[in-house]
Amino acid sequence: MDLILNVESRSMTGSRVRQVRESGYVPGIVYSQGEDAQPLKFKEFEFIKIMRAGAGSQLIELQGLDEGSVFALMRELQRHPVRRSVVHVDFYRVQMDQVVRTEVPLLLEGESEAMRGGAILIHPVDRIEVECLPRAIPDHFVVDLSLLVGIDDSIKVSDLAEVEDVMIVNSPDDVVASLTLPRILIEEEEEEEVEELEEGIEPEVISKGREEEEEE
């Protein structure tokens, strides 16, 4: 899917950026190695629309600049701490014939029989780092939860399906999904182990005093 964001060049910078926001735009910049950052602005509702379509990791075509369309990746998103509205965005301009490093989201699919039995899913990472040409960036990597049959099962980076012309940077041994028991079941098992241990211990007989009497 091609993600397109209509942008305009921005002359107001520094303390005047507030005026940009008051006029209904979000300020941002697009930069690349060896070049000065270019200020721009765009409508927040248009940005939210492409964010919902995966702009956090996908190639974005910025349209409306004087030089024409620019292809970029989003590098930093700033939100208002209370209202959570978008206040500033940094875009990194890419060359279509040069390899880039970015992060691709994980998509959980399928069902785990163990989870239906009460096991809890542990999902330590939600993105995978990759290197590839901009046009080859995958939309996502699928994590098949049906592979998690028992508590000791886990899904690692090496279990993810390979994508042509895409190199995964993460270690193959990195765990992306695993299972654990609910805390209450762990506590019950611990209590049972303690009870079994106590049942197997014979009481200690204190007989030292009696032995001394017999010796006398």
Residue 208 has pLDDT above 70, yes or no: no
Q: What is this structure's pTM?
A: 0.75
Contact 43, 10 (CB under 8 A): no
In terms of Cα–Cα distance, which of 165, 121, 164 is closest to 143? 121
Domains defined for the chain, CATH in brackets = 3-94 (2.40.240.10), 101-199 (2.170.120.20)
Vertex 18: Cα angle to 13 and 20 (nearest 5)? 75
Report CA 44 to chain centroid distance, whole Å. 23
Q: In the chain, what's the furthest Cα-to-Cα distance?
A: 111
The count of other CB atoms within 10 Å of the CB of residue 101 is 11
Query: Tens digit of pLDDT for each residue in 47-63?
Result: 999 999 988 889 999 99
Helices (H) and strands (E) in the chain, counts: 5, 14
CA gap 140, 144 in Å, rounded: 13
More confident residue, 201 or 25: 25
Query: Tens digit of pLDDT for each residue in 153-182?
Result: 899 999 999 999 999 999 999 999 999 887
More confident residue, 156 or 114: 156
In terms of Cα–Cα distance, which of 40, 11, 20 is closest to 28? 40
SS3 87: strand
Residue 98 is classified by DSSP as S
pLDDT at 194: 46
